[in-house]
Amino acid sequence: MRGHAPQEEILRFALRATGAIVLAVIMFGASFAAASASDVTGHVYVNDNTAGQNTIAAFERHIDGSLRPLPGSPFAAGGAGTGTIVGSQGALQASADGRYLLAADAGSNQISVLRIAADGALSPASGSPFSSNGYEPVSIAVHGSLVYVANEGNKTTGSGSNYTGFRLNPVGRLIPIPGSTVALPSSANPGDILFNTTGANLIGVEVGTTDPSTFLIDSFVVGTNGKLTPAAGSPFAAEAAGPFGSEFSPADPTRLYVSNAHGGAGNGSVSAFTVSIAGALTSIAGSPYPDGQTAPCWVEISHDGAYLFTVNTGSTSISSYRVNADGSLSYVATTTFKSGAGIRPFDARLDQAGTNLYVVDAALDAVSGFAVSGGSLTELAGSPFALPAGATPFGIVTN
């Protein structure tokens, strides 16, 4: 007959079993953390435009397209936001080398430059923020070390609206280019400023007022000194009311696309132009191309130049077009947001692989995400992804 094990042996067995369980839990936790870290494929940043001190929201972008707030987010930008909804394209940009973010601080007439760490965290560059050399900066264009800012201007005094140039030096300081400022009329209401892929041409879009004569597209040739020379015939008349967002084709620096936002309910469209080396704009046959939606405001083009997406703010939808060999557009489809109407979808940006499209929801204080397959969009399961409290966002960057 076998006797009972001594009490101390039972205790040792229990301790060994407990230790094994604890070790298994630790190993599982470490494996889960490692898997989560390896699942991060990049980051998404949003200009929160918060009242008082402006902030930048930062997200980890995962392999399934989902977003999770980066530890430490939101990060102080340095300048001030307006705390009110501001409509423009390009209020947040990355430097050409990917080392810095440039953020429009619309509430303090400044541009913040933030250094991007290896883990995606942000910190102010030395001397940041910098004066925007105008009033209420709303859009930023970057090519190499050259930076141009569109300042909307003071609506009360009618002053301070312009395009103005800077050099971004290697340590993140914005240095004004003397004589680079191009004054704009008080009726301009600039919505976007951008370079083509070669940096030889720069376009500025004047959204204008209710007066059709104010619906304009400014075109410039960029000199080696960074200064702008207006193209002959600039500014060019837009093809429809309220030219707004714009994009050069990543595949062809002579192709320009501009959304027309103010045509009224169900009357939105996108215009297509060729831009000569001298900056002249010529409409592509069939332009503008309707999408049957309201207020197409923001434009993004696939990295291969094959598809164009325009965010219809008034319809709470995104329209897709196929870009044809001659630069013309063929309408493909329209995808609605599952959040419902009234979320005010704004600026949009594709990730580096071109497999996900992220859109700032200005009224919802969130970011919606869509899986991209050619010209088809499917909203991600976890979308929309919440922004920090108090955000009135405009501008988005992915890396």
- pLDDT at residue 9, rounded to an integer: 53
| Residues of the chain under the 70 pLDDT cut | 1-37
- pLDDT at residue 155, rounded to an integer: 84
Q: Where do the structural domains in the chain lie, given as residue ranges?
A: 40-398
H helices of the chain, in order, are 7-38
**Fold of the CATH domain 40-398:** Methylamine Dehydrogenase; Chain H (2.130.10)
Phi/psi of residue 191, nearest 5 degrees: -110, -20
Please say whether the beta carbons of 371 and 354 come within 8 A. Answer: no
Instruction: For strands 67-69 and 52-62, give the pairing.
Output: antiparallel
**In sequence order, what are the residues at sequence separation of 6 or more whose Cβ sits closer than 8 angstroms to the Cβ of residue 220?**
182, 201, 202, 203, 204, 228, 229, 230, 231, 234, 279
Predicted TM-score (pTM) of the model is 0.90
Residue 125 DSSP class: P
Please say whether the beta carbons of 388 and 73 come within 8 A. Answer: yes
For the stretch 305-360, pLDDT in tens is 999 999 999 999 999 999 999 999 999 999 999 999 999 999 999 999 999 999 99
- pLDDT at residue 26, rounded to an integer: 39
- pLDDT at residue 158, rounded to an integer: 83
Phi-psi region of 199 (alpha: psi -120 to 50; beta: other; left: phi over 0): left
For the stretch 184-243, pLDDT in tens is 999 999 999 999 999 999 999 999 999 999 999 999 999 999 999 999 999 999 999 999
